[in-house]
Homo-oligomer: A and B are copies of this chain.
C-alpha cells in the first residue's frame, strides 16, 4: 500500500515566477530525481491548496502540466499517481551498479567473503534451523502490558539521552538474573547492556584487539558472526579444534591473547566444556595474561545432569568476559544482550558503546527490566525448559534409531544438538538427505574455517514440535535406508 505523500514546496518570492511554475518544477524534479517512487499517489489538490494557502485552480494547473508531460498519470475517480520516468532520469551514478565492487573510496575489508553477512536461507516456518527460539508460548499479552506501562512512565519524563552502559534498572535486573539463573558473579556495576550478543562481540573485539597484533582463538567449528567481529577489528584468528569435551584447550598456542569459547553449550556441536578443560583454560589465561570470552547464548535451557558453574564464576583474575543475550530466552528481534565485564575493562567498554551508538533504546530497556524484575523471564524460561526438554529427548530417541548413521555429541542444554556422521565417506549423502527431510539442518562444515575430518549434522529444536520431529525423522530414516540399498 503506497501512502499518499505530503510535501514541502517553497513558494516563489516576488519576481521569481508564478506559484504554478514553482509547484510544477519542484514536483517534476522530485519525480525525475526518483525522490518519489512510480505509483505514488499525489495529494488531493484541495489539500495542497489549503496547505500552501493558494487557489485550488493553481494546483490543478500545475498537476495538468505534469500530466501533459507524462510525469503523472491521472486516474478516473481516484488520485493521480506518479509515472515511471526512470528512463528520463539524468543522474549517471545512482542505481548504476558498475562501481559496486572495490570502490577505491572504501576499506576493502568489508567486501572480503569472510565479512559477508549471512543470508538466511528460506525455510518452512517449522524447521530444524539453529538459533531460532519458539514463539508459540511467549507471553505477548504481558509484554504488551509492560510495554504500555514503560511508555506511560516514559511520557512523564523529559526527553534525554540515557547512560551508555544501560539504564540502571536493567543493569540491576540482569545482574540479579544471571547471578541466580547462570551462577555468574556480578553486581549491576559489572553489567553493560548491548544490542544483542553480536554487539557484545563487536565491542569486545574493539576493546581487546590491537590490529595486526592480537591473536584470537576461536572454536572450530564455531559461530561465524563472532569471527566477523574479530576479523573486522583486525585480529588474527586461530581456529582450535573440538571434541566431546569442547574446545581442545591443550591446542592453544602460547601467544594467543583472547580465547572465545561457548562452554555451556558449544556452538554448533552442543558439547559442554568439561571441568578439567575449564580449569586448564583459566590456568592458560592466568599464565599467558590472556582473556576469555564466555559466550553463553542459550545456557538457560538445561535438561539434566549437574550444570557446571559459569567460567566467569571460577575466574579469580579478572580474565573472563561473560556475554549473555535475550535472543534465545526471549526473542531475537529484541536485540538485547549484555556483557559482565571485569572491573578493569568496564570504562573502556562504556567508551566503546558511546562511540558505537551512544546507548541502546531506552524505552525497550525499561520494558525488559520490568519483565525480568516482575519474574516473567524466570517463569518463561522455566516453562520453555520443559517444552525444549521434550523436544530434546524426542530428538535423541529418533537419533538412537539411526545410530549406524549418526551419533549424537553429548549435549544437555540449549536449542540444538549435533550428531557426528558415522561414515565420513557417506557424509554428503547424509547431509543432503537431512536437508531434504529435516529442513534447516546443516553440516558443521558451515561453521568451520578449515576442512573437518569428521562432519556432524546440526539439528535445532527451537521451532519444531515433538510430533513434527517424529514425522520428519520417519521420512529421513526411509530415505537413508534406500540410500543404503543404492550404495551397496
Contacts and interface: CB of A to CB of B under 8 A. Distances in A.
Contacts of A138: 155, 159
A354 to B, nearest CB: 4
B316 A363 contact: no
Interface string A355-377: 11111111110000000010100
A221 interface: no
A292 B161 CA distance: 27
Interface stretch (A71-79, A100-108, A423-431): A100-108
Secondary structure of the A side of the interface?
A: loop
Q: Which range contains the number of A residues in contact with the other chain? A: 35 or more
Interface string A155-169: 101111110100000
Contacts of A91: 185, 316
A466 interface: no
Contacts of A118: 354
B185 A117 contact: no
Interface string A93-135: 1111101100111110011000111101000010000001111
A395 to B, nearest CB: 19
A331 interface: yes
A287 interface: no
Contacts of A344: 97, 99-100, 103, 105-106
A92 interface: yes
Contacts of A7: 180
Interface stretch (A206-214, A396-404, A445-453): A206-214
A332 B158 CA distance: 11
A115 B460 CA distance: 42
Interface in A386-444: none
A99 B317 CA distance: 11
Given A103-B344, A160-B333, A357-B195, A180 B351 contact: no
Interface string A196-211: 1011001000111111
Given A154-B333, A343-B94, A8 B103 contact: no
For this chain, the copies found in one complex come to 2
A479 interface: no
Interface stretch (A56-64, A143-151, A268-276): A143-151
A361 B110 contact: no
Contacts of A356: 198-199, 202, 229, 356
A74 to B, nearest CB: 21
Q: Which of A7, A30, A307, A355 has the most CB of B within 10 A?
A: A355
A130 to B, nearest CB: 12
Given A106-B208, A107-B207, A333-B361, A116 B306 contact: no
Contacts of A229: 355-356
A68 interface: no
Contact of A147 (B148, B351, B353, B375): B148
A252 interface: no
Contacts of A115: 351, 355
A211 to B, nearest CB: 6
Contacts of A260: none
10 contacts: A3-B373, A10-B306, A35-B179, A91-B316, A92-B316, A132-B159, A132-B161, A140-B154, A334-B361, A336-B361
Which 3 A-B residue pairings sit nearest by Cβ, starting from the closest? A35-B179, A117-B354, A333-B362
